[in-house]
A and B are shown apart, each in its own frame.
Chain A
């Protein structure tokens, strides 16, 4: 029972963290900072999936949400920013 209670608490905490993280992502205006926040949000989501017993999905989320997507976004931002004079 205690283990169950702990798990429930962990799941509630991580759900609240993910919701807060999503708000932070939406509220971030600076492009580069947004990408970094998005990457942290990907890790939060991965912890969520892990806490809900889906380690496979957590792994995919880490690789895609926290690594591959931010990397591609950063490279795209680097390409479209104004060239230095």
Chain B
């Protein structure tokens, strides 16, 4: 195809796309106009039905809780897949523990004291914020997912403020794996418990609490949010820790294996990395 033909084809395609796009656009409801029935129904009943003022969490963990279970296991599977793909390959070597010192010394240029200090200062507030987000899904805009990611960030801050060895002590694989399993399995177990009690899957079988909008209210919504927080935090610590190990500890053998010919890469602007 000559460049000219390609240009003509592009012009036809872009005209059609713009035409269809504008046509579709003209049929959309007006800005801020919500025509669906479900939003109004949920807004009218969510707080009385669930005693949760964080209505988004009530939707996520109750009205469409079944979808959320699936999403939770997407992350679970992603973390598991990461561990499988990033396992130590036969032609890679891992420095023995005593050489961690050397791995830490490779960290050139050294982290500046400013970065270390700020990271150290931020660890405790980050943990508190993550815990708060994960345990207050039922009262305000927050939730286990956000809380979990923030908690995992605290792990990264520990790495930035200290060194690899401190961070690795935090990332004991048994603890992280157990937390991930408890979080993901716990969510599913809450649903199964409801079935065992004779309710539909993920039915909110716990007492809702007297006051809508208090932290102890909303039954399973608060519990599921906490479990999601545990799962997400563990999954992200596992993923980030796995990548960190890959970058800093696992070394490929110095002569590249000849079985893998270097693909002719397109000219790429060289980064400053």
CA A82 to CA B56, docked complex, whole Å:
45
The reply to whether A32 and B149 form a contact with Cβ atoms under 8 Å apart is no
Provide the bound-state CA to CA distance between A81 and B266, in Å: 16
For the complex, what is the distance from the CA of A56 to the CA of B145, rounded to whole Å? 10
A75 in the interface (beta carbon within 8 A): yes
Among listed A18-26, A37-45, A65-73, interface-contacting one? A65-73
Report B252 CB to chain A, min CB distance, Å.
Answer: 8
A75 touches B244 (CB 8 A): yes
Contact partner of B146 among A63, A75, A78, CB < 8 A?
A63
Residue B263 lies at the interface, judged by CB distance under 8 Å to chain A: no
CB-CB contacts below 8 Å: A25-70 with B? 29-33, 55-56, 59-60, 62-64, 67-68
Once A32-B272, A56-B56 are accepted as A-B contacts, the answer to whether A78 and B247 lie under 8 Å apart by CB is yes
Residue on A nearest B86 in the bound complex, by CB = A79
Pick the residue among B57, B146, B243 that contacts A76 (CB under 8 A): B243
Contact of B187 with A by CB under 8 A: no
Question: Contact flags (1/0) for B129-167 with A, using CB distance below 8 Å?
Answer: 000010000000111011001101100100000000000
B67-95: contact bitstring with A at CB < 8 Å (1 yes, 0 no)?
00000000000000000000000000000
Q: Tally A residues with Cβ within 8 Å of B.
A: 23
A71 and B156: CB pair below 8 A?
yes
Q: Which residues of B contact A29 (CB under 8 A)?
A: 269
| CB-nearest residue of chain A to B240 | A71
Q: Counting CB contacts under 8 A, is A77 at the interface? A: yes
Task: Kindly state the separation between the CA atoms of A76 and B271 in the bound complex, as whole angstroms.
Answer: 14
Q: Do residues B239 and A72 form an inter-chain contact, with CB atoms below 8 A?
A: yes
User: Are A64's CB and B247's CB within 8 A?
Assistant: no
Cα(A77)–Cα(B149), bound, Å? 21
A24 to B: closest C-beta gap in Å? 16
Return chain A residues, CB-CB under 8 Å to B271. 30-33, 77, 81
Best-buried of A56, A59, A68, A81 by chain B (most CB within 10 Å): A56
Tell me whether B247 and A63 are in contact (CB under 8 A). no
Kindly report which residue of chain B lies nearest to residue A11, judged by CB atoms.
B31
Q: Select one of A33, A59, A72, A77 contacting B141, CB under 8 A.
A: A59
Counting CB contacts under 8 A, is B246 at the interface? Answer: yes
- B149's partner among A31, A67, A78 (CB-CB below 8 A) is A67
The 8 closest A-B pairs by CB, nearest first: A75-B243, A63-B149, A55-B141, A31-B271, A78-B247, A56-B56, A29-B269, A32-B273
